[in-house]
Structure 1
Amino acid sequence: MTPSSPQMIKGSNAERSRSSNRQAVLGRIKSAGEMGRAEIARSLGLSTQAVSNIIAELQEDGLLVETGLRSGGRGLPAMQYGVNSAGGYALGVEVRPDAIFTAILDLHGQTVVTRRRTLKSPEPAKVISKVLKLRDEMLAKTGLSEGQLLGAGVVMPGPFGQTGLSGLGSDLAGWQSVDAAALFEEALALPVELSNDANAAAMAERMALGLSHFAYLYFGAGLGLGIVNQGQLVTGIFGNAGEIGHVPVATPKGPLPLEALLSRVSVQEHLGKGPLDIAALGALFAEGDKGMMDWLDGACAALSQAVGLLENLFDPQTIILGGAMPAGVLDYLVAHTELPTLSVSNRADNPHARVQAGASGRMTATLGAAALILNRAFTPQAAAL
């Protein structure tokens, strides 16, 4: 697999600037809720005429609507504009080794419809076939058309490409040599943003919590990490930044990979009961199952080391836990993990908890996949050189 690179805006400098300004206007209105022409122009350093032209285009495209007049004191009341939630939709696709999740979000980031199907084989042709069926089901359910979809965000477990971590059990077998973005673009006939599941989940939490500097530990097939800095993902040159599950931590048995102690795979292996879904794990936790509680002791110790590492490397507002793990287990990890004292985050002036559970639930990566498309719509993209 190869990750999506920032989309290059082709054409002249004037065309690139126009596209960037459209995204900037949309993004500024989205952040404010509603704004008038003059206020937008001042905030972006554009002429009022340029903003008026952009707004007219965005209205024609159905992306903006008039929300009413607002008096600013002197002069005539100014027309306000807001993002039209039904002006377009984003498709999100999450491919796991054993399941596919899909979602459609509107332009306000609200979930319109979701679907989940088990997956017997992650073979590319079978995955594509199932994704197309799920897309068609969701369109039929909502009455939307393919033409209303702005794009598709697709997320998968990393690493992308053939690396020294390939084949260790937490990646998606059979996809390392496939150009996944091109495959999905051809099948869906849509622009595609490809990302690993942890990065997409981090974007969903950014939308939900409004944070701009944080680390997100994602429980998926293994354990992934999404880093958001100044509101943007830190992805690395090949899209593989954040493979924290393979970082060794100290244990009584010697160094072990973090995800050998802190992941769904690790709890299942510790319990020796074979594959367990989230509901089954949640039931064992609720019962106070001894094996589950023993695993949590080791998981808390491993998480404590991971917290110290992340805090001292990235100085985040907070570290968020989420993904495919019961809410009760995540809350237990937050409450019982000893926070390291030797950390730059051990301070009294941060209004955020050092570690907290996420707000987006088990479909956080799926929603984050669609959020990648919304982020592109509202954020000016740098042109490739």
Structure 2
Amino acid sequence: MVVALDSAPYLLKNERTELTDNRSDNERNILNLIRQHKALPKATLSKLTGLSAQSATVIIKKLEASGLVKPLAPIKGGIGQPKIPFGLNPEGAFGIGLKVGRRNYEMTLIDLEGNVRATRYESVSYPTTAGFLTFASNAFHEIVKSLNDIQRLRIRGVGVAMPFAIWNWPIETGAPEATLAQWQQFDIKSELERVLSLPVFVKNDTAAACSAEMTFGNSQQWENYLYVFVGTFLGGAVVINNSLLSGRTGNAGAIGSLPFFEGQERKQLINQSSLYLLEQSLNTKGEQGKKVYDSTSPWHFHEASIIEWVSGAAKGLAHAAQCAMSLLDLDGVIVDGAIPPEIKESLIVQTQEAMFALDMRGIASTSICSGTVGANAQSIGSAILPLLANYY
């Protein structure tokens, strides 16, 4: 039973179990194939999965009865009856994502096909635990107002994408050290589950963005690659055999912490290829540097600052690519970020050029390509986490 939105939580506690919809391996396999191919008839699903025609039919009927898939227009032509393909039913399930950024919060609602249904956004000078919880509660109640009673019951949870150990960079963030330190003791999963009464799934922000690229992007169809997201801070993730490599603490691919040498100066890659550096540069030129986070439409800032930042960031990305290729012999590197498309393309070109200046002897040549999800990859990646947990 759904209760009024102005009460918290919006679902009664004894309905919490209905939010879980874990599917069998065969059901997940079929849902994944339909997602990848957009639509498939039962005969093709049987062939691709190795299931008998009868077993595939039983599973499809079960998924259809659950509202997760739906029959599409018959495929005419050929011998016999027209084949009926099945596609995902976008209304079958919903995921909510929360991005904790160093300069903003964002909540995103997506359906089972990955279509963005609603978003809420708030710019901040730096993230605070209290401010985040207030945003999460307000944004959630605004977003669910756009859904009917049945759709609300099909929300499968809240995914959170956030920088791990966010308290380690107070100077770069420009935040009081004591304020960021509050995140160290903040149990974000428990707090959000208390406030929203939904299952919560937490992932490193760049790993979440990489999940979005794996699910909705990777037009190169690589199986092994380094994923790079250029945001306020630089982040990375690693995909091996089409699976996200999490590592012992869920922070594998944290290229921002790689050491980087600029002459005699030793620093981390975060201090070479992150957007906060452009923000600071623009501030010194009398511009409002924080506006670089407000939009990914073409930038109209101090041109020399942009050129200098792209050049410096490219050197850092080339170093990260060299390290990744020498260690893992990957198919290539995918670069995405909260930056305008033309800036991203320039960054990719200059990164490739910067690699020509490196000593790459003994390392295979490297392809560097653009991510296809774009600036909202972290937000979409967080929203897909509940769907991945239940269906894929």
Give the Cα–Cα distance (whole angstroms) in 2 for the partners of residues 375 and 261 of structure 1. 33
Give the Cα–Cα distance (whole angstroms) in 2 for the partners of residues 216 and 368 of structure 1. 13
Deviation at 1:189, TM superposition (A): 2.3
Q: 1:287 to 1:192 in 2, by over 3 A?
A: closer
Give the Cα–Cα distance (whole angstroms) in 1 for the partners of residues 106 and 26 of structure 2. 34
Give the Cα–Cα distance (whole angstroms) in 1 for the partners of residues 274 and 370 of structure 2. 15
> Partner of 1:42: helix, strand, or coil?
helix
- AA at the equivalent of 2:208: A
- Counterpart of 2:46? 41
Give the Cα–Cα distance (whole angstroms) in 1 for the partners of residues 297 and 92 of structure 2. 42
> Partner of 2:212: helix, strand, or coil?
helix
Give the Cα–Cα distance (whole angstroms) in 2 for the partners of residues 300 and 255 of structure 1. 17
Query: 2:234, 2:273 within 8 Å by CA — same for their partners in 1?
Result: yes
- Counterpart of 1:330? 344
Deviations 1:72-91 (A, max 9, x none): 95654444322112212221
2:213 pairs with one of 205, 215, 222: 205
Query: 1:261, 1:299 within 8 Å by CA — same for their partners in 2?
Result: yes
Q: Which ranges of structure 2 fall in alignment gaps of 5 or more residues?
A: 1-20
Q: 1:173 to 1:316 in 2, by over 3 A?
A: farther
Q: 1:300 to 1:36 in 2, by over 3 A?
A: closer
Aligned pair 1:372/2:385, yes or no? Answer: yes
Give the Cα–Cα distance (whole angstroms) in 2 for the partners of residues 119 and 316 of structure 1. 37
Give the Cα–Cα distance (whole angstroms) in 1 for the partners of residues 342 and 39 of structure 2. 38
> Partner of 1:127: helix, strand, or coil?
helix
- Counterpart of 2:156? 150
- 1:56-95 equivalences under 5 Å are 56-70=61-75, 76-95=81-100
Give the Cα–Cα distance (whole angstroms) in 1 for the partners of residues 170 and 107 of structure 2. 26
Q: 1:265 to 1:59 in 2, by over 3 A?
A: same
- Counterpart of 1:243? 254
Deviations 1:158-177 (A, max 9, x none): 238x9xx5767569642223
Aligned positions, number: 355
Query: 2:97, 2:379 within 8 Å by CA — same for their partners in 1?
Result: yes
Query: 2:281, 2:305 within 8 Å by CA — same for their partners in 1?
Result: yes
- Counterpart of 2:104? 99
- AA at the equivalent of 2:355: L
Query: 2:292, 2:299 within 8 Å by CA — same for their partners in 1?
Result: no
Deviation at 1:116, TM superposition (A): 0.7
- AA at the equivalent of 1:159: A
- Counterpart of 2:360? 342
Q: 1:66 to 1:296 in 2, by over 3 A?
A: closer
Query: 2:297, 2:340 within 8 Å by CA — same for their partners in 1?
Result: no
Give the Cα–Cα distance (whole angstroms) in 2 for the partners of residues 283 and 33 of structure 1. 30
Deviation at 1:307, TM superposition (A): 2.1
TM-score (norm 1): 0.80
Deviation at 1:225, TM superposition (A): 0.4
Deviation at 1:135, TM superposition (A): 1.9
RMSD: 3.2
- 1:190-201 equivalences under 5 Å are 190-201=198-209
Give the Cα–Cα distance (whole angstroms) in 1 for the partners of residues 32 and 297 of structure 2. 43
- Counterpart of 1:232? 243
- AA at the equivalent of 1:246: S
Higher mean displacement: 125-134 or 81-90: 125-134
Give the Cα–Cα distance (whole angstroms) in 1 for the partners of residues 159 and 171 of structure 2. 25
> Partner of 2:381: helix, strand, or coil?
helix
Q: Which ranges of structure 1 fall in alignment gaps of 5 or more residues?
A: 1-14, 348-353, 380-385
- Counterpart of 1:360? 373
- Counterpart of 2:317? 303
Give the Cα–Cα distance (whole angstroms) in 2 for the partners of residues 138 and 267 of structure 1. 33
Higher mean displacement: 121-130 or 98-107: 121-130
- AA at the equivalent of 1:319: V
Deviation at 1:36, TM superposition (A): 2.9
> Partner of 1:242: helix, strand, or coil?
coil
> Partner of 2:90: helix, strand, or coil?
coil
- Counterpart of 2:142? 137
